[in-house]
Amino acid sequence: MSERDRLEFWTKALNLPGFQVVHERRDGLTDPLRLTVIPDMPLGLCPACRRATDNVHKTHESAAVKDLPLGPQSVELIVRTYQFHCPHCEGYFTPRHPAFAPGAHATERFLEHAAKLIRFSDMHNAAAFLAVPEKTLQNWYYDYVERQAPAPGLKPIKSLGIDELSLKKSTGSSCA
């Protein structure tokens, strides 16, 4: 199998719309599969003047981004993004792709899967299963939940209350 065929295979197996795999790296059997992906089309829509441009100013590679595993093999993506120069308004911009969660080193589909696991089990077990630090998964989960379309008029949860009577019963401090 040629390298081109192997990269096409990984592009199909990854199934990440709008991106193609350009490099594959495996360090060891237990290490994650690292795939470098680039956008299919080097084209961006300027947020200032709303015109399309293909004038790439520079390319940036992300840190490792967690994605859904392929069977027992964990997968990390290295995402090459383009910073574009708009010749119409002389601005520079880097488009954001909806497949990648803002502020997290994970794909949206990974976070959706993690949210399902957390709802089924708990944060600790989901973090262990996904091989992500628990505090990191907790931050990603709450950000993911806030990004989902909330019902009108609802506000994000800022604190949770504890039922005082239940607390007294469990500590043995209630008056008899």
Cα 32 to chain centroid distance, Å, stands at 16
Cα 28 to chain centroid distance, Å, stands at 24
Low-confidence ranges of the chain (pLDDT < 50): 174, 176
User: Model's pTM, two decimal places?
Assistant: 0.74
Strand-strand pairing, 73-85 and 33-39: parallel
Q: Give CA angle at 51 (47, 106), nearest 5°.
A: 45
Q: Residue 148 has what pLDDT? A: 82
pLDDT digits (tens, 9 = 90+) for 120-171: 888 999 999 888 999 999 999 988 888 886 666 767 667 666 666 666 666 5
Cβ contacts of residue 97 below 8 Å, gap of 6+?
Answer: 18, 19, 39, 81
